[in-house]
Structure 1
Amino acid sequence: MALDPIPVLQSTFGFPDFRGVQRQVVDRVLGGRRTLAVMPTGAGKSLTYQLPAQMLPGTCVVVSPLIALMHDQLRAATAVGIRAATLTSADDNRAETRGRFLDGELDLLYVAPERASGSDFRELLSRGNLSLFAIDEAHCVSEWGHDFRPDYRLLRPLFDQFPDVPRLALTATADAHTRADILEQLGIPQDGLIVAGFDRPNIRYHITPRDQGTRQIADVIAATPGPGIVYVQSRAGTEKLAEALARTGRPVRVYHAGLDPAVRQRNQHDFVASEDMVMVATIAFGMGIDKPDVRFVAHAGLPKSIEAYYQETGRAGRDGDPAVAHLFWGADDFARARQRIGEVEPARQPGERQRLNALGALVETAGCRRAMLLRHFGEQPGDYCGNCDNCLSPPNAVDATELAQKYLSAVFRTGMMFGATYIEQVLTGQSTERSLMNGHEQLSVWNIVDGDDVALLKPVGRALQLRDALRANDHGGLEFGPAARGLLKGGDTLSMIVPPKRERRRRGGGSATPNPTGDPLFEALRAKRRELAQEAGVPPYVIFHDSVLREMAADRPQTIGGMRRITGVGEKKLQAYGDAFLSVIKQH
């Protein structure tokens, strides 16, 4: 007789029913089958192994790539009454944890792939009782994945030693090639693949050319209450930007691999516990953060790939509430990326170029950003999502081929020695000491651009560099790239977006506010949550998500029975916190 997971779902997690493909995944696990589940961030991946771990005899071993991520998940599991532990180099109670495992006192045991692939750990597991292997961030097993971790490829012998124990691999980011590799590397059959889709409808995507980037990001911070992450491409860049953003009045921290480990850990701890902090970080920060209430992610430069962009923006809005993702890019980002491609081994260069071209198409498109993202992952969405910059304010696309030819001609006739600013001065006839000295005012390209086309010169220069028709040389001048010939000879065209006039955002004007109706009861419930979190030494979201508090504020339950009907209030949390929140509601 099949096991019914619904009673455990309701009593432990406080959810009336499953979401999306959760039920399919849980049923396969409870049936002892091997599964790869590709589910978007925020779709409840961890529940698909936490729930079976409570229903099946034995311990579920969870392989997770980062200690910080394991400790976040440990807090969340413990809070709902699941018996869980981590076995990592950062834990002082490893002997106690081994004993609890051998005595059958653990539902979940979190370990890193380095430990899981070792013979000592295999020997430990052979003396205990196992219910399930769960492999989190499973794209790390694939060389095609953007976060490849060699230790993940050493896990198969461990799983094969226990052939009757079901395997559940989980990831949010894997294209078709990566999915096939995961199945092969982890010994999961083709019919074990469940793809839930990649859409994150609560995230609003904005992609904008970088122009005074610090001010643009400060505007995002001013407009968006709640915690946020700003990704910067260099360590020095994080320090500089964080210093500037601290002037916005929001608490700001820095995270990169060059920081003292104690400082890095403290900054991460402060961010996870905060309800309004901004973390300025390199991509070293993120995978290990299971913080559901991040309200915005901003990229101060170009990410490595669409997969990386999807995963990094996916750290926003994991609680399902509205969130925003802003990307600010420059032509120099593409120039640097091409230079890096030239430095990798030749066999990898075509794939890297393909990834960069996909990013170029995403930032240049006049169509729906979300549709382009989803098509990249093999989905067939509609052409309009209603929640990205292009859908909300459709841009004007113009044929800028003739203007691009004028731009390229000016670069050629001035000797491919000058940067974009000087080329624009030549084309618009701005006389300078340099133009007089070089005799450039006598050229056929002098003062041939006027009217509305003047405003398009900067974006055309950006577009030519993005498409590799122009490249910056070692002296900062522009020279032809391989795509210049097709534009000059008339075979290729340049269609581009007319950039909208930028409007300053008003403070607090974003759609991601946690309290859209300004309800004082909601704020009082948040204050009580903050107090309880400090007492328990956990981040506020571990007590309850904002969505739970909003439902409490709307329904205003007066009894424990009424509180039990609030989505997200399981029995353990009801016992621990029910009376405290009922007291706040009764005061209002």
Structure 2
Amino acid sequence: MSTPLETLQRVFGYEAFRGEQQAIIDTLLAGGDALVLMPTGGGKSLCYQIPALLRRGTGIVVSPLIALMQDQVDALRELGVRAAYLNSSQDWREAREVERQMLDGELDLLYVAPERLLTDRCMDLLSRSRIALFAIDEAHCVSQWGHDFRPEYLGLSVLHEHWPDVPRIALTATATGTTREEIARRLALENAAHFVSSFDRPNILYRIVEKNEVKRQLLAFIREEHMGDSGIVYCLSRSRVEDIAAFLSQNGIPALPYHAGMDAARRAEHQARFLREEGLVMTATIAFGMGVNKPDVRFVAHVDLPKSVEGYYQETGRAGRDGEPATAWMAYGLQDVVQQRRMIDESNGDEQFKRRSGRQLDAMLGLCETVDCRRQQLLAYFGQNIQPCGNCDTCLEPPESWDGTVAAQKLLSAIFRLWRERGQRYGAGHIIDILRGKLTPRVREQGHDTLSVFGVGADLSDQAWRGVLRQLLAKGLVAVDFEGHGTLMLTDDSRSVLKGETVLMLRREVARATTKASTRRQAAADTALEPDELERFEALRAWRASVAREHGVPAYVIFHDATLREVARRNPQTLGELAHVHGVGVRKLEAYGEALLGCVAEV
């Protein structure tokens, strides 16, 4: 029998394991269970694919998305692995053939959705088959407090009851310690070995900007830093998705919408195009993306504030799976804070749910408002401590912090005086008008120009005051009365600021130079190739695109950019030389070796 390393080299074309992959594989080969936390792009799939190839029987992979199953099965078949899936996209004849292959022992791996797996028919199929292992992908979906809960995942503990001697592995890229304990409990993995890799994705540049005409900001970001790149833009609502997609398309950025309100056929078509076409931007709600295996997504943008750090990390992790430079960009403003607070306040959840949602939002706001390294703050949420990263906006262009105590006292005093003297509450815009001394018709009509706070904040701009208010909301020093049509009110914590008992350091937004840091990093990766190497690389990409079209698969299923870049550098002349290139396994060498060498020779 082959060893894991031999299988890695022969089938997948990689020379050595990374991190704890070897230890995880050895655990499963010995019949043990494993709970694996590994960042997106860290090589989670190999941790169950290799044991499935080495153990007797078929590896069953529980996957939540049809598109992900099809993508992984296509990639495995290109490697010569006998893989299939069962899902609702198949007609009964196709499903029946897969079931036959399963019963006859002709499959190495079978991908199935959790709701399909738990049907009587599928359970009966598994009971009549030899099973090598169970892999539960995207295991955070079992957490009822998580950002992507799937009720059907709760039934997966039945696997241990029916097949107690079959090893199981649960994998996710996103889980705090509390979520990890919940996954283990709900999947009956209390005795599983835990493997927790670093959450850091050093190739991703994190940047959060103050929201100001967000569509214009997004367009400028894409044009200046990622023109022609594949990317994902996340929006909070379906209408916003459609609006942003149309706006980008009208301005020369090819973009498609994706949300749960679209019919299934249109969603499937858009996802297939995103996976197969280069330079396409997917504008989507969080309904899109989990498990998307596209390695060359160069940016993920958020035009609305995510609900939690877990959600943000999961979504930004879809950028740069190939290890090449990528950007996580977000525009964030006052209205985001108000909107998220409103959603929690008006949700149908109980008080425990609202408290937990509030804590998750507070952590997300803390990440947005920090003056320290963003990556430090992000990873600290998951219990990991690092030094300042040098690859986020606060490291590259450190923000200013300033003593905003007096400004905060002025704003809180305006809210207080309106309530105490007039019994009135108003929203942000009107209060800022009062502070800046603007004689608007509404200010004059209400007589608010006679208040002692009228004009005391003329030294700050409208935008600066909105920044102060946003940070006071984020810190819980101001609240929004949603029953009062979004008016502002003080909190119990406001008193210490008004009395001068608290010094309040705030973040000052400054005009940023157009450093285009991520562009420089990407350019550095490209210019690492000499002119003749770059010419070979582009010829190889064109050859790969042609082959991918013939096979009806995404280009990266044939070869990743990193593999083609290495071929371009090494300029192999023989199959033996090509065999040592990272990502060229035996099957791909047999299938594409001569054609690839021919392409190199023609340049």
- Please give the range of the TM-score, normalised by the shorter of the 2 chains: over 0.9
Shift of 1:330: 1.9
- Tell me by how many angstroms 1:481 deviates: 4.3
What TM-score, normalized to structure 1?
Answer: 0.94
Amino acid at match of 2:216: R
Q: Distance in 1 between matches of 2:52 and 2:210?
A: 47
The whole-number CA distance in structure 2 between the counterparts of 1:20 and 1:248 is 43
Offset of residue 505 of structure 1: 7.3
Is 415-424 or 547-556 further displaced after alignment? Answer: 415-424
What SS does the corresponding residue of 2:27 show, helix, strand or coil? Answer: helix
CA offset at residue 142 of structure 1?
Answer: 2.4
Counterpart selection for 1:310 from 313, 334, 357? 313
2:22 equivalent to 1:23: yes
Shift of residue 247, structure 1, vs aligned partner: 3.0
* Secondary structure, counterpart of 2:407 in structure 1: helix
8 Å CA contact 2:258–2:284 kept in 1: the answer is: yes
Is 1:224–1:511's contact at 8 Å kept on the other side of the alignment? no
* C-alpha displacement of 1:433: 3.9
Question: Per the alignment, in what secondary structure is the counterpart of residue 31 of structure 2?
Answer: coil
Deviation at 1:332, TM superposition (A): 2.0
Q: Distance in 2 between matches of 1:506 and 1:44?
A: 29
Alignment of 1:133-144 (within 5 A): 133-144=134-145
- Match of residue 124 from structure 2: 123
CA distance in 1, matches of 2:595, 2:369: 52
Counterparts of 2:480 and 2:205, CA distance in 1: 32
Note if contact 2:276-2:554 (Cα within 8 Å) is conserved in structure 1. Answer: yes
The residue identity in structure 2 corresponding to 1:128 is S
Q: Which moved more, 1:503-512 or 1:225-234?
A: 503-512
Could you list the per-position Cα deviations for residues 457-497 of structure 1 after superposition, in whole angstroms to 9, with x for gaps in the alignment? 23112212323414265445433345433322333343211
Provide the C-alpha distance between the structure 2 equivalents of 1:437 and 1:128, rounded to a whole number of angstroms. Answer: 79
Equivalent of 1:389, from 385, 393, 401? 393
Distance 1:207 1:272 in 2: 27
Q: Map residues 26-65 of structure 1 onto 2, 5 A cutoff.
A: 26-65=25-64
Determine the C-alpha separation between the residues in 1 that align with 2:186 and 2:439.
64
Which moves more between the two structures, 204-213 or 418-427? 418-427
Contact 2:13–2:584 (8 Å) recurs in 1: yes
**Cα 1:453/1:96, change in 2 over 3 Å:** closer
2:9 is aligned to 10
Deviation sequence 1:6-62 (CA, Å, 0-9, x none): 111111111000011111111111111111111111001011111112112210011
In the aligned structure 2, how far is the partner of 1:230 from the partner of 1:512?
Answer: 20
- 1:110 matched to which residue of 2? 111
Secondary structure, in 3 states, of the residue corresponding to 2:307? coil
| SS of alignment partner, residue 467 of structure 2 | helix
Q: Is the 8 A contact 1:467 1:483 kept in 2?
A: no
The secondary structure found in structure 2 opposite 1:155 is helix
* CA distance 1:482–1:545, shift in 2 (3 Å): farther
Q: Deviation of residue 351 (structure 1)?
A: 1.2
Q: CA deviation at 1:156?
A: 2.0
Cα distance in 1, alignment partners of residues 427 and 352 from structure 2? 33
Q: Distance in 2 between matches of 1:114 and 1:265?
A: 19
Tell me the residue number matched to 1:554: 569
Point out the more displaced range, 563-572 or 455-464. Answer: 455-464
**Among residues 356, 361, 367, which one is paired with 1:356 in the alignment?**
361
Deviating 4+ runs (over 6 angstroms): 452-455, 505-508
CA distance in 2, matches of 1:80, 1:118: 31
**Residues 116-155 of structure 1: per-residue CA shift (max 9 Å, x gap):** 2233222212222111111111112222332222222212
1:336 corresponds to: 339
Per-residue deviation at 1:179? Answer: 1.2
Amino acid at match of 2:156: L
Q: Please show how residues 358-437 of structure 1 align to structure 2 within 5 Å.
A: 358-382=363-387, 384-414=388-418, 416-437=424-445
The one of 475, 488, 492 equivalent to 1:478 is 488
Q: How many Å separate the matches in 1 of 2:316 and 2:518?
A: 21
The verdict on how the C-alpha distance between 1:439 and 1:122 changes in structure 2, with shifts beyond 3 A counting, is closer
- Is the deviation greater in 17-26 or in 487-496? 487-496
Partner Cα distance (2:277, 2:99) in 1: 33
Deviates more, 1:243-252 or 1:301-310: 243-252
CA contact (8 A) 1:53 1:108 kept: yes
1:165 aligns with 166
- SS where residue 523 of structure 1 aligns? helix
Structure 2 unmatched ranges of 5 or more: none
Q: 1:332-387 deviations in whole A, cap 9, x for unaligned?
A: 222222222223212222211111111111111101111111111112222x0111
Equivalent residues of 1:220, 1:505 under 8 A apart: no
Structure 1: tracts of 5 or more residues without a match: none
- Counterpart AA for 1:162: W
Cα 1:143–1:432 shift into 2, 3 Å: closer
Report how many aligned residue pairs link the two structures. 586
Q: Which of 259, 266, 269 is the matching residue for 2:272?
A: 269
Whether the 8 Å CA contact 1:117–1:158 is kept in 2: the answer is no
Counterparts in 2 of 1:189 and 1:260: CA distance versus 1, 3 Å: closer
1:563–1:578 contact (8 Å) kept in structure 2 = yes
Are 2:209 and 1:198 aligned? no
Give the drift of 1:401.
Answer: 1.1
Change in Cα spacing, 1:105 to 1:499, as seen in structure 2 (3 Å) is same
Which structure 2 residues correspond to residues 472-551 of structure 1 after superposition, within 5 A? 474-475=484-485, 477-503=487-513, 509=519, 511-512=521-522, 515-517=526-528, 519-551=534-566
Q: Separation in 1 of the partners of 2:175 and 2:45?
A: 17
Contact 2:61/2:137, CA 8 A, preserved across alignment: yes
| Corresponding residue of 2:289 | 286
3-state SS in 2 of match to 1:515: helix
Question: 1:270 Cα shift?
Answer: 0.8
Contact 1:331/1:466 (8 A) holds in 2: no
Q: Deviations over 1:95-125 (max 9, x none)?
A: 1111111111100011111122233222212
Aligned to 1:86: 85
Q: Which moved more, 1:449-458 or 1:269-278?
A: 449-458
State the SS of the aligned residue for 1:304: coil
What is the deviation of 1:451?
A: 4.6
Among 443, 457, 478, the residue aligned to 2:451: 443
User: What secondary structure does 2:521 align onto?
Assistant: coil
Q: How much has 1:454 moved relative to structure 2?
A: 7.3
Residues 183, 476 of structure 1: alpha-carbon distance in 2 compared, 3 angstrom cutoff: closer
CA distance in structure 1 between the aligned counterparts of 2:11 and 2:535, rounded to whole angstroms: 29
Q: Deviations over 1:419-445 (max 9, x none)?
A: 434433332334444444443333322
SS state of the match for residue 297, structure 2? coil
Give the TM-score, by structure 2 length: 0.92
Q: Judge conservation of contact 1:85–1:109 (CA < 8 Å) in 2.
A: yes
Letter in 2 for 1:467: K
Please give the secondary structure, in 2, of the residue aligned with 1:302. Answer: coil
Q: Which residue of 2 aligns with 1:70?
A: 69
Amino acid at match of 2:396: L
